[in-house]
Every structure is written in structure tokens, then in C-alpha cells.
């Protein structure tokens, strides 16, 4: 059978109706399933030519398409786009199968509604069998291409798929996104996945529409090969990306019965000899394996997926077993109740929500700052960075949209802006911007997803993040503890290094200080600051006597004093069982009384985890139990919350700071209302009233 024609009956647009497709032979279809090297592709092209399939078509039907294909500079971020495209295909299938309305407003909501992923993330999906079942819908597998640093990468999903006649307007299009009005999908620009073509010698694209959604069309598997035609570099300024088509100008197809699994549908993209010079292995940590790379790039993915490797180096890493591993993202790894493996432990973690709309008085939405402190056991002799298996020094701070890293800051930013020189190597920060407003997201992100747009909004987010971190008393305590640990590590090993760090720190610190007066003041007439008071006693975390639904709310300070145009912090407790505040984040609101609506809560902590928060436990050396840190159960469950209040009557500058400071102070009275079903806790019912 060579060059056989099949009439594909369509129920769609007229230009797609009764369009004949070239049906390839079973032998050629079998060759497609085993493509891994450039020689394999050339053998397929030779056999296709013998069957009359030898025409070509420019990608996106644009002869000048290199500018779009080559827009990405990183092969790693381009590969991640392939994975998020697979997420979209899976959610698109569920959307078609979903009956009724309303539709979800985000990919995370869609994953919760249609796939059963908990609202709080994959880390709250504890059953490993359920995680793997979900992860099997999207797979990334490395195969041997014959080039050590350039493995063949197969990205496969079991999503909605595409009919062969849809390929030119879908998988092989450029900037023709059909996702613009589908808020439950991550893609929008219609070019993310195409960036991978520039990093492959050849790319096989194979797809099958879900049989239940064919709308009267023939059930066929479409396929093609994409390659770069360099032309004459001395005459042609840029190359042209092309793909294989039959004599009818459409991609060839074959019968689904020739698939290894006849019930498969979705898309399979095989990048032959893909450029992965830094991450050419499958399972090793972040240093050189894609398992670690995708955990960092997809910090908190909406669904789990699989990573595998079939090359000798990858099979040896799994004790000669051809297997795959589940990718859940760094957020789930760090929030794992069992803690990290080996001599690492998460000694402290917390989360704060910052309301940009309230702080800047505009339609900006809010973002969440999640951060973790990873430390080694006191007995550890390792000299590597504690966070090296999670993030690199280039992305110690990751800004994510629906779990995908869109922007980042280097570790040096933490050192310079947060001023924690000893704790910098232990700190991991995630800026979750899922809840920014749509206009804010448009202004913040670029189409490449490799870097945020430099501007006022990005600067404000990072500046407020630095302020939140600098205000955390527990980070300051851990900074002091880390310094003591380094000094006690051994004078013969680290004395010179510590002295140099101390010398630079003291020099910088003194350089910025004002001249001291004899009375101990700062030289500007201000009184000497009061020494800190004694630490609070340990907090009783037993919740057996507490109700499931709170009946009282207690403020640490009520009323609260706040300066005009300034911010302050207040702690809030409820008499509900541990974990209530974390589970009912959206049901809680803050009511500020007595200042005419000028004061609002611009950020709130969600929960903390660690040996202490600086408020609930005394400050003492962190004890170790069986090699891990003892954790405060109240913070693990989130039974207390920290609020940051902002008084906005003072005019704001262009970057959200007060143009002037005013010593006039206003007193306020705060109230907390919690909605549970149809019941409400009024401000007058809180503790002490």
C-alpha cells in the first residue's frame, strides 16, 4: 500500500469537509513508534518518499517563521512549555466532557473540579497510588539519541488530541491560539510549544483526537516530521522551519489499530537529539537531571506527571528497572509531612498573602509569599548548599503562575534585599501570583515566560516580598542560629571565611549608621530604643476542648495603634480546632473600625511550620529528635495568624511608598468575622468583648 487516499468526512467547516488524507502503510506506522535517533528519522523520510509522501509545508504557513520559533533562548523553559501544553490538553478533554456551567476560572480550579486535585495543592493528595494514576496522563521520557548531551525527549499526553486535519491550525500553527477565552487553560500565546523545534534536530508530532469527540470525522492518527531548513547562511538571513505533508498538502495519517495501544488518544511529541547540555539525565537532582529541573520550573504544577529514562545511565540509576518517577513540584516536596530525605529538614515554613489592590488602591489583586528554611542536621559534614536539590542560585526566588515559574531572582537578591547573609543558602521563596487580577497579569508577564516584564508592578511585588521577609522575627532568629553553627563548625575550617564575612557585614553596617551620642541615642534627638522583653511562655496546642466552629476571636492588641501612611502587625487567635484558619482562608474577613475606612489588611500569614514562630514558643536552641527538628503543632496546623495593617490616608508615590511621613497617629479597633454556612461571628462576640 503506497500513497493510498482516504476521504475524511467532516462535520466541521466547509473547507475541512471531505478532505482526502494520505494513508500510510502499516510498516511506516510501525517505524514511527520507535523513532529515537536522527538515523531513524531519515529512514522514515526515505520510506515516506517511497510511498509518495515527500512534500513540505512551512510551519504556521509562514515562510518567515524563525522569528517566532526562535523567540525562546532556553531549551529548558521551552521544554516546560511542552509539559504545560499537555496539561492543557488533559483539561480541555475534561472541559468537553463537562456538562453544565459555570466553567472554572483557572487551571487550578479545573484540576480540582475535574481531576480531584485538592484545592490546597498536590501535597494534600497523600495517596501515592492516586498521584501516579493522575501522573500517567502526562509523561516525559528521555531516550538514547546517540548523542550523550542531547537525548531524545518524548512528551506524551492522554488529552483531547487533534484530528489530522486540525494539525495546521493547532499543533503546527504559530500565534493562532484557541485558548484566549478558556480561563481554565494555561496557554494563550499559541507559540510556547513551538519554541522546542529550534533545539531539536528533528521532531515527530503524532496525534489522535479523542474518539468520543470526532463529530462524524474518521478516526485517524495524524503524524508529521518538523525540521529546520537552514538554506544558504550567506544568502538567507534566517532559516525556515518546515514539516512533512502528503501530495494533498495535509499531514499523513494511519489507522488507530496500528497503535501499540488502540485506546490511546492525545498527542505525542518526540524531540530527536534535543539540546539539554546541563540536564541530560533523567533522575538525578537539580544539578544535571530533568527530574530536578522540572520540579523547580514547575514549582507547584496543577497536576502531577511522570519523568522517565530509557538510556543506560538512567536505567542504572533505577537499579536496572525501566521505571518512571512522579513529579509533584518543589512546593509539595517541601510541604511533605515526612520531611526531606537524608540529613535535611525543613526547620521553618510559612505563607503570607499580600493584597496589592488594597496597598496601591487599584485593580491588582493579591499574591502569596511562601517560603521555607532548609537546614542540615547539626551532625552533618556536608558542605553543599542545603537547597541545592530544590533550586539553583539563579532562581532562589521563583515567581509562579499556576505553578509554572515565570520569573525569578538570584540568591544575591536575598542577600542584598533581605539582609540575611548566613541564612541565604537555606532560604527558598515562592511568589504565587495566581490571584493577581487579569490586567496585572498582562502587565507582568511576557510571551516567552522566561522573565517578567521589568516595570513598576514587578518592582512593587519584589519590594513588598523583601519587606515581609525582613519583618519575620523567626528568620532573624534562624539567621543568628546559622551564624553560630558556622562559627562552631570548626575554627580550622571556617574561621577565615567567617571573619571575612563578619568584617564586610560590620563595615557595611557601620557605614550606614548615624554617629552615636553620649547618652546612647542615634545623634538625632531620638531616645535610646528599649531592649526586647522576655520571650513568651510555650503555648498549649491541645485542641481537644475546642469546638470545630469558632465562637470567639481574640486579638493580641485591641485597639491597635498605627501611624499615618505606615504599617503594623497584629496577631489573631480563634478558639477553633487546629487547622481551621488554613482551611477557611476565603471565609475570613477583617473589619477595621474607627478611622473612616483608611486602614486595611494588606497581608496575612496562612500558617507556619517550625520549632517556633518567635511568638508562641521561647527562643532557645532548636532541639533535634531522631535527626529532625521538633515542630510546633499549632503552626503545622495554622491555629494562629499574623495580619499586616496599612493606613492609606497619606498620598502614595509612584512605587507605592508614602511621599511624606506624618507623626500623627490614629487609634483603631479591629474585628474579625467568619462565615460558616449561614452563621456569622460578629465583632462583638470575639474574646474580651
Stretch 579-602: mean pLDDT, rounded? 64
Stretch 528-555: mean pLDDT, rounded? 67
pLDDT at 126: 77
591-641 pLDDT tens trace: 666 555 566 666 666 544 443 444 444 333 333 222 323 333 333 333 566
Partner residues linked to 207 by β-bridges: 222, 267
Q: Give the pairing type, strands 427-432 and 397-401.
A: parallel
Helices (H), 572-668: 580-583, 633-637
Residue 184 contacts residue 111 (beta carbons within 8 Å) = no
33-42, 118-127, 187-196: segment of lowest average pLDDT: 187-196
Does residue 483 register a pLDDT over 50? yes
pLDDT at 538: 52
Higher pLDDT, 457 or 520: 457
pLDDT at 541: 61
Residue 613 contacts residue 568 (beta carbons within 8 Å) = no
* Band (50; pLDDT cuts 50, 70, 90): very high
367-400 pLDDT tens trace: 999 999 999 887 777 878 899 889 999 999 999 9
Partner residues linked to 588 by β-bridges: 674
Distance CA(342)–CA(191), nearest Å, equals 41
Residue 91 contacts residue 158 (beta carbons within 8 Å) = no
457-481 pLDDT tens trace: 999 999 999 999 998 989 999 999 8
Name the residue among 593, 566, 571, 564 with its Cα closest to residue 643: 571
Q: Both ends of the chain: CA-CA distance in Å? A: 87
pLDDT at 249: 93
Name the residue among 339, 332, 334, 336 with its Cα closest to residue 626: 339
7-19 pLDDT tens trace: 443 334 334 444 5
Distance CA(227)–CA(61), nearest Å, equals 14
Cα dist from 466 to 103, 419, 471, 610, 664, whole Å = 36, 9, 9, 21, 27
Distance CA(183)–CA(178), nearest Å, equals 11
* Band (322; pLDDT cuts 50, 70, 90): low
- Concatenate the DSSP letters of all residues of 440-459 into one string: HHHHHB-TTSSSBPPSHHHH
pLDDT at 554: 72
pLDDT at 632: 37
Sketch the domain layout of the chain as residue ranges: 4-138+163-259, 337-490, 537-689
524-537 pLDDT tens trace: 555 555 665 565 55
Does residue 674 register a pLDDT over 60? no
pLDDT at 125: 85
For 439, phi then psi, to 5°, come to -60, -35
Residue 56 contacts residue 228 (beta carbons within 8 Å) = no
Distance CA(348)–CA(635), nearest Å, equals 10
* Band (73; pLDDT cuts 50, 70, 90): confident
DSSP element (H, E) containing 138: strand 138-143
Is this prediction's pTM over 0.85?
Answer: no
Q: Give the pairing type, strands 628-629 and 624-625.
A: antiparallel
- The CB-side HSE value for 315 (13 A sphere, CA atoms) comes to 8
Cell of 131: 498521584
Name the residue among 176, 174, 168, 162 with its Cα closest to residue 248: 168
| pLDDT, the chain, mean | 78
Distance CA(137)–CA(156), nearest Å, equals 8
594's CB contacts (< 8 A; 6+ apart) are 559, 666, 667, 668, 669
| Residue percentage of the chain with pLDDT more than 70 | 71
Does residue 654 register a pLDDT over 80? no
Partner residues linked to 7 by β-bridges: 20
CA atoms 631, 637, 640, 641: torsion sign: positive
3-state secondary structure of 221: strand
Stretch 282-308: mean pLDDT, rounded? 88
Higher pLDDT, 105 or 519: 105
Amino acid at each position: 500500500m503506497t500513497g493510498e487516499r482516504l476521504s475524511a468526512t467532516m462535520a466541521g467547516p466547509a473547507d475541512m469537509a471531505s478532505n482526502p488524507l494520505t494513508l500510510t502503510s502499516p510498516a511506516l506506522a510501525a517505524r514511527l513508534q520507535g523513532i529515537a535517533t536522527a538515523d531513524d528519522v531519515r529512514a522514515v523520510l526515505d520510506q515516506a518518499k517511497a510511498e509518495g509522501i515527500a512534500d513540505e509545508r512551512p510551519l504556521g504557513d509562514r515562510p518567515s517563521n524563525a522569528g517566532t520559533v526562535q523567540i525562546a533562548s532556553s531549551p529548558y523553559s521551552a521544554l516546560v512549555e511542552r509539559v504545560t501544553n499537555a496539561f492543557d490538553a488533559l483539561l480541555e478533554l475534561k472541559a468537553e466532557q463537562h456538562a453544565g456551567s459555570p466553567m472554572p476560572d483557572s487551571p487550578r480550579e479545573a484540576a480540582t473540579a475535574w481531576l480531584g486535585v485538592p484545592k490546597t495543592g498536590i501535597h494534600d493528595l497523600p495517596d501515592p497510588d492516586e498521584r501516579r494514576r493522575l501522573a500517567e496522563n502526562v509523561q516525559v521520557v528521555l531516550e538514547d539519541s546517540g548523542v550523550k548531551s542531547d537525548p531524545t525527549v518524548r512528551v506524551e499526553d492522554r488529552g483531547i488530541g487533534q484530528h489530522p486535519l486540525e494539525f495546521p491550525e493547532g499543533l503546527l500553527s504559530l500565534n493562532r491560539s484557541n485558548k484566549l477565552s478558556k480561563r481554565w487553560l494555561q496557554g494563550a500565546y499559541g507559540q510556547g510549544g513551538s519554541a522546542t523545534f529550534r533545539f531539536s534536530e528533528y521532531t515527530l508530532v503524532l496525534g489522535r483526537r479523542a474518539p468520543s469527540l470526532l463529530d462524524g470525522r474518521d478516526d485517524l492518527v495524524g503524524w508529521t516530521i518538523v525540521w529546520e531548513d537552514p538554506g544558504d547562511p550567506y544568502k538567507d538571513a534566517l532559516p525556515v522551519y518546515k514539516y512533512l505533508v502528503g501530495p494533498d498538502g495535509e499531514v499523513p495519517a494511519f489507522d488507530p489499530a496500528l497503535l501499540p495501544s488502540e485506546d490511546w488518544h492525545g498527542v505525542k511529541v518526540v524531540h530527536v537529539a534535543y539540546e539539554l547540555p546541563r540536564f541530560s539525565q533523567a533522575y538525578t537532582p537539580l544539578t544535571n537531571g530533568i527530574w530536578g529541573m522540572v520540579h523547580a520550573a514547575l514549582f507547584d504544577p496543577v497536576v502531577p506527571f511522570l519523568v522517565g529514562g530509557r538510556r543506560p545511565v538512567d536505567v542504572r540509576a533505577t537499579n536496572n528497572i525501566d521505571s518512571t518517577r512522579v513529579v509533584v513540584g518543589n512546593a509539595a516536596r517541601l510541604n511533605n509531612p515526612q520531611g526531606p530525605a537524608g540529613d535535611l529538614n525543613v526547620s521553618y515554613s510559612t505563607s503570607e498573602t499580600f493584597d496589592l489592590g488594597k496597598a496601591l488602591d487599584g485593580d491588582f489583586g493579591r499574591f502569596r509569599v511562601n517560603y521555607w528554611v532548609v537546614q542540615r542536621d547539626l551532625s552533618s559534614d556536608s558542605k553543599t548548599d542545603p537547597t541545592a536539590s530544590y533550586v539553583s542560585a539563579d532562581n532562589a526566588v521563583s515567581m509562579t503562575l499556576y505553578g509554572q515559574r515565570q520569573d525569578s531572582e538570584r540568591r544575591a537578591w536575598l542577600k542584598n534585599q533581605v539582609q540575611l547573609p548566613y541564612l541565604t543558602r537555606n532560604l527558598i521563596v515562592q511568589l504565587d501570583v495566581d490571584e493577581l487580577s487579569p490586567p496585572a497579569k498582562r502587565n507582568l508577564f511576557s510571551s516567552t515566560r522566561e522573565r517578567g516584564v521589568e516595570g513598576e508592578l514587578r518592582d512593587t511585588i519584589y519590594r513588598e516580598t523583601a519587606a515581609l521577609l525582613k519583618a519575620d522575627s523567626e528568620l532573624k532568629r534562624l539567621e543568628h542560629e546559622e551564624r553560630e553553627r558556622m562559627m562552631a563548625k570548626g575554627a580550622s575550617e571556617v574561621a577565615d571565611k567567617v571573619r571575612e564575612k563578619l568584617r564586610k557585614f560590620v563595615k557595611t553596617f557601620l557605614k550606614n549608621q548615624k554617629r552615636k551620642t553620649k547618652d546612647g541615642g542615634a545623634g538625632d534627638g531620638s531616645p535610646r530604643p528599649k531592649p526586647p522583653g522576655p520571650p513568651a511562655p510555650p503555648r498549649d496546642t491541645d485542641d481537644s476542648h475546642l469546638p470545630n466552629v469558632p465562637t470567639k476571636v481574640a486579638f493580641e492588641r485591641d485597639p491597635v495603634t498605627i501611624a499615618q501612611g505606615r504599617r503594623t502587625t497584629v496577631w489573631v487567635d480563634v478558639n477553633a480546632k487546629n487547622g481551621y484558619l488554613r482551611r477557611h482562608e476565603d471565609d475570613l474577613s477583617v473589619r477595621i473600625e474607627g478611622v473612616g475606612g483608611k486602614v486595611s489588611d494588606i497581608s496575612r500569614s496562612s500558617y507556619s511550620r517550625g520549632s517556633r514562630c518567635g511568638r508562641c514558643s521561647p527562643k532557645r536552641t532548636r532541639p533535634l529528635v531522631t535527626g529532625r527538628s521538633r515542630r510546633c503543632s499549632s503552626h503545622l496546623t495554622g491555629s494562629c495568624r499574623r495580619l499586616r495593617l496599612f493606613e492609606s490616608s497619606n498620598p502614595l508615590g509612584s512605587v507605592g511608598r508614602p511621599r511624606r511621613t506624618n507623626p500623627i497617629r490614629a487609634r483603631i479597633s479591629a474585628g474579625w468575622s467568619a462565615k460558616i454556612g449561614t452563621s456569622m461571628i460578629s465583632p462583638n462576640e470575639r474574646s474580651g468583648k
